[in-house]
Structure formats: C-alpha cells, structure tokens
A and B are shown apart, each in its own frame.
Chain A
Amino acid sequence: MDNLGNALAFGLGAIGPAFGLAIVGAKTIESMARQPEMAGRLQTTMFIALGMIEAIALLGFVLAFAI
C-alpha cells in the first residue's frame, strides 16, 4: 500500500496523454486516407506531436519515482 500514491500519480497522469495520442493517431490516419500524397510529411509532423505529448506522460513517470 505504500506505493499506491506513486502508482496513482503515474496512472492518473497517463490518462490525458493517452487521449492526446489517440486523437493524433486517428487524425493522421484520417488525413492520410484523404490525401495519400501527403503521407510522408504528415508522418513527420505526427512524430513531432507524438514526442511532445509523450513528454507529459513521462513527466508523470518521473514524478511517480520522485514522490
């Protein structure tokens, strides 16, 4: 039970980024289906967005260890 706070810190902190990643992924697939010729540039932009959203989840991961 001592580690419950740590687990909650990461678990709750991962909810927001999870939604963010889902939206980014879904919209990229949708855009690629609409305009396949843009797929390369969309993918690059997607990875940039992915990296930025991921950082929020990872801040939660680090905080969970820091608490």
Chain B
Amino acid sequence: MDQMPVKMEHLLHELSVLPLSEGAGFSLTNYMFWLIIAVVMVLVFFVAASRKVKLVPSGIGNMAEAGVDFVRNSICVDVIGPEGKKYFPFLGTIFFFVLFNNLLGNIPPALPGTGTVGTTFTWAIIVFIVYNAIGIKKLGFFKYIGSLVPKGTPWWLSWLLFLIELISHLLRPFTLGVRLFANMYAGHIMLGVFAAFAGIFIEQLSPASIAIVPLSVVMQIALRVFELLVAVLQAYIFTILTAVYIGGALEAGSH
C-alpha cells in the first residue's frame, strides 16, 4: 500500500490544469482544449439536427428536439412561468454547454471542461450579472435593492434581513460555481482512486488480489454509470437554479 501516495500524486497531476505548449504567457490548457471540442460538438449536433426540420422528426433531430423541449417546458416554463420562454436561449445555452462538457469528460482521455474553476465560476458570474440585470430592468435599481426586504417588515428588523439577504445573494455565484466544479473534479478523483487500487493489487500478485481486482473493476463500471447520471443531473441543477434565480428576480416586486 505504500505506493498509494505516489499514485495519488500522479492522479492529481493528471487532473490539474496544464498548458499544452511550453513557454510563458498565454497558452491553451488541457481543459480548454477539451472544452473547445465540446463546444464544437454542440455546434455540429445542432447544425446537423436542424438541417432537415420535419413535422415528425427522426434520428438526430428527434434527440435534439427532446432536449430542447425538456429545457423549454420543464425548466423555463415550469420554474419561471409562461414568460420563461423568453429566457430559453440563455438557459438552453447553459444546459447544453454544461451537458456536453460533462458527458465528454466521461470518455477516458478527455477531461470535462467544467472540471476547472475558471469555466464554472465564469458561468456563475455571468448568471449572477444576468439575473440581477433582469430584476433591475423590471423594477429599477433602488426598488430592486429595496425588494430584498419583504414589505411590512418592522424597521428594526429590516436592516438585519437586508444583510442576510445580501449575503445569500452574494453566495449564490460562489455555490453555483463550486457545485459544478467539485462534482466533476471529485467524480474523476474517485474514479482514479479505484483504478489506482486495482493497479496496486495487480502489481502485488497474491490470492487476496485475485479476489479484489474483479471487485474493483465492477466498482469502476458502476462508478462510470454513476458519473453519467451525475453529468446529466449537474447540467439540470445548474440550469434549474439559474431559472430559479431569474424567476426570483422577476417576482421580486410582488412580495
């Protein structure tokens, strides 16, 4: 078992952000490389799907239509309300970007573009700016800030409520970014740890290792399936929380 720290260090090195080319200054990192591939895949997928639009879609068009329908109906309209359709372009972009990145990360040599803090926090900050802008556009700046405190709160309580609400709003981009990053990063570390265990037991051939290696392989497959679930679920949660924030900003004046 004394090889475990070496293997862990190797694993964490593999998962860290590394520049592809040598030298100082701006350079493409390994995560950005896979992120660009995922974005190109989104583009190719939707261009191919919208080539021949039919009343009854088939094949790839069917897949794209099911995805778009899911985002529009069970995220935009269900969470924000009938006016949620207006925000479909934004929410759909987030959903398919995150989904394709997460899923691509499950193919072994690829890394998830969302498994790095840079990508997820950039999206989280964009979401923060967009939902506040929507709220400010609807209510005006001072009314929107004032709407953090519910109407009818006694004056001696309002400053405390305002402070609590302000902190919870400022924490939103942070939790949004950390959630997606940690899920993708931790999932890959977990897969790596089980693979490292299998490697160690194969190297030290003994009766015990013969019993444990199949278990580790089965675990590896089970975790892969679990990671696929997590990839879809995290894309869903990221999008639905964005929808909740936008819905909250739109309703801010009414309570």
| Residues in chain A within 8 A of chain B (CB atoms) | 40-41, 44, 47-48, 50-52, 54-55, 58-59, 61-62
Contacts and interface: CB of A to CB of B under 8 A. Distances in A.
8 contacts: A40-B74, A44-B78, A48-B241, A50-B237, A58-B175, A58-B182, A59-B175, A59-B178
Given A41-B78, A58-B183, A61-B186, A47 B237 contact: yes
Contacts of B182: 58, 61-62
A59 B177 CA distance: 11
Interface range, B side? 10 to 19
A61 B183 CA distance: 10
Interface in B196-246: 233, 236-237, 240-241, 244
A59 B179 CA distance: 8
Given A48-B237, A61-B186, 19 more contacts: A40-B74, A41-B78, A44-B74, A44-B79, A47-B237, A47-B240, A48-B241, A50-B237, A51-B179, A51-B240, A55-B175, A55-B178, A58-B175, A58-B178, A58-B179, A58-B182, A59-B175, A59-B178, A61-B182
Contact of A48 (B179, B186, B240): B240
Per DSSP, chain B at the interface is helix
Interface of B: 74, 78-79, 175, 178-179, 182-183, 186, 233, 236-237, 240-241, 244
Contacts, number: 37
B217 to A, nearest CB: 26
Contacts of B175: 52, 55, 58-59
B237 A44 contact: no
Top 10 A-B pairs, shortest CB-CB distance:
A55-B175, A58-B182, A51-B237, A61-B182, A55-B179, A58-B178, A58-B179, A51-B241, A62-B178, A47-B237
A51 B245 CA distance: 13
B179 A47 contact: no
Contacts of A62: 178, 182
B215 to A, nearest CB: 23
A55 B182 CA distance: 9
Contacts of B233: 47
A3 to B, nearest CB: 9
A58 B179 CA distance: 6
A52 B245 CA distance: 12
A52 B176 CA distance: 9
Contact of B240 (A44, A58, A61): A44
